Amino acid sequence: MVKIGNIELGEKPLFLAPMEDVTDPSFRYMCKHFGADAVYTEFVASEGLIRDCKKSFKKLQLFDFERPAAIQLYGHQIESMIQAAKMAEEAKPDFIDLNFGCPVRKIATRGAGAGMLQNIPLMLEMTKAIVDAVKLPVTVKTRLGWDNDSKVIVELAEKLQDQGIKALAIHGRTRQQMYKGDADWTLIGEVKNNPRMKIPIIGNGDINGAESAKNAFDKYGVDSIMIGRATVGRPWIFKEIKDYLEKGEIMKPLTIKEKVDLAKLHLEKSIEWKGEPRGIFEIRRHLSNYFKGLPNFKETRMKLVTLLDVPDLFKTLDGISKEYGQMDDSQQADDYSYFQY
């Protein structure tokens, strides 16, 4: 049984990774529908939160359907992060996650996110201060290190545990790699197999289906896996993985009609949460990816990412059902990468 603090997550739980402009409540709803065991908000800027930025504050809102759920925070100032953590605690998440892994230049070069990997003493001091400031479990998500010459994660994991965190998620790349190259799971496995480590270790990076998920559990022994980019436009990946882990069966591919129904539901939830037109703007990457690989789809795809009229969008989605009938994933091309996150 995997536990974060007193939160029981079952055996081999699957986590939805926090992703900016992706893991909003509408997408979290879709992923929970397909069996995600824990979800994270989009990451929240501590400075924006304490300055009462409306966008940052809105990200704190959680719903009963998505629990257990975490609010993820990032920043490079200890006092700001402490204040933000206390504000996040008031929103009553199940745990608070500290982002020490985002590689995006505008964040990392300010010393936040993966930038913390260049100042380990500050990272540890901040972690300890936040653990002491809140009553909720605190977790961390980070990377192997800043670059290939500074893969510090094995030693760092022990030090973070010593600060009182309740779980550690590790992305198997350095900050320098961004999202390029293959994730290196050997060091994630080394952290997990370190006898000093007592907290759950969550592996992240290149989990793109049932077989890669099973391999991560079997070969590296992680307690949980976290799935990011592969979920975009494919929230059913959680069911794919669970069916394979529990029954040894590959889930029957979804038909286009089933995908259309899911895209409609997602669109409805996005508009319900964000209104028009924002709810339409911010679901476009998902709508496009729901139908990844369909042949002769360029014109329809352009409609999905440009239309602003809701009835027209639903009409376009219905048209996909009519045109592509009962085609399923196995009949689609596998090299289509438009709008890849």
Q: How far apart are CA 305 and CA 47, in angstroms?
A: 32
User: Could you report the per-residue pLDDT of 308-341, keeping only the tens digit for each?
Assistant: 999 999 999 999 999 987 665 555 543 333 223 2
What is the number of structural domains in the chain?
Answer: 2
Co-location of 118 and 163 in the same domain = yes
In percent, the amount of the chain with pLDDT more than 90 equals 90
Asked, for residue 338, whether it belongs to a domain, the answer is no
pLDDT at 332: 52
DSSP H helical ranges for the chain: 25-33, 46-50, 54-58, 78-90, 105-108, 120-133, 153-162, 186-192, 210-220, 237-247, 256-274, 278-281, 284-290, 298-304, 310-324
Co-location of 226 and 311 in the same domain = no
Identify the domain boundary among 247, 274, 298. 247
Co-location of 20 and 79 in the same domain = yes
Identify the domain boundary among 213, 247, 281. 247
Co-location of 229 and 315 in the same domain = no
Which residue among 85, 102, 188, 210 is the active-site one? 102
Tokens read off for 332? 């689609």
Q: How far apart are CA 197 and CA 222, in angstroms?
A: 12
According to DSSP, the residues that pair with 226 across neighbouring strands are: 15, 204
Asked, for residue 2, whether it belongs to a domain, the answer is no
Q: Which has the higher per-residue pLDDT, 162 or 53?
A: 162
Asked, for residue 227, whether it belongs to a domain, the answer is yes
Q: Distances from the Cα of 285 to the Cαs of 54, 142, 167, 320, in angstroms? A: 23, 25, 30, 17
User: Could you report the per-residue pLDDT of 265-323, keeping only the tens digit for each?
Assistant: 999 999 999 999 999 999 998 998 999 889 999 999 999 999 999 999 999 999 999 99
- Torsion, CA 85, CA 86, CA 92, CA 98, rounded to 10: 10
Asked, for residue 336, whether it belongs to a domain, the answer is no
Asked, for residue 123, whether it belongs to a domain, the answer is yes
Are the beta carbons of 286 and 23 closer than 8 angstroms?
Answer: no
pLDDT at 117: 97
Q: Which has the higher per-residue pLDDT, 91 or 338?
A: 91
Q: How far apart are CA 258 and CA 241, in angstroms?
A: 18
What is the reported pTM?
Answer: 0.92
Co-location of 313 and 221 in the same domain = no
Tokens read off for 195? 């006898």
pLDDT at 341: 25
pLDDT at 340: 30
Co-location of 267 and 234 in the same domain = no
Co-location of 112 and 144 in the same domain = yes
Confidence band of 241 (pLDDT split at 50, 70, 90): very high
* Residue 22 identity: V
Which of 35-44, 106-115, 123-132, 318-327 comes out lowest in average pLDDT?
A: 318-327
Co-location of 293 and 185 in the same domain = no
Instruction: Please give the residue range of the domain that contains residue 143.
Output: 9-247
User: Could you report the per-residue pLDDT of 169-219, keeping only the tens digit for each?
Assistant: 999 999 999 999 999 999 999 999 999 999 999 999 999 999 999 999 999
| Residue 202 DSSP SS3 | strand
Identify the domain boundary among 193, 218, 247. 247
Co-location of 196 and 319 in the same domain = no
Residue 164 belongs to a domain with what CATH number? 3.20.20.70
Exposed, middle or buried: residue 305 (CB in 10 Å: 0-12, 13-18, 19+)?
middle
pLDDT at 326: 60
Asked, for residue 339, whether it belongs to a domain, the answer is no
Asked, for residue 164, whether it belongs to a domain, the answer is yes
Asked if residue 68 has a cis previous peptide bond (ω within 30° of 0), the answer is: yes
Co-location of 291 and 220 in the same domain = no
Co-location of 299 and 237 in the same domain = no
Asked, for residue 137, whether it belongs to a domain, the answer is yes
Based on the residue annotation, tell me whether 53 is a catalytic residue of this protein.
Answer: no
User: Could you report the per-residue pLDDT of 126-171, keeping only the tens digit for each?
Assistant: 999 999 999 999 999 999 999 999 999 999 999 999 999 999 999 9
Co-location of 278 and 232 in the same domain = no
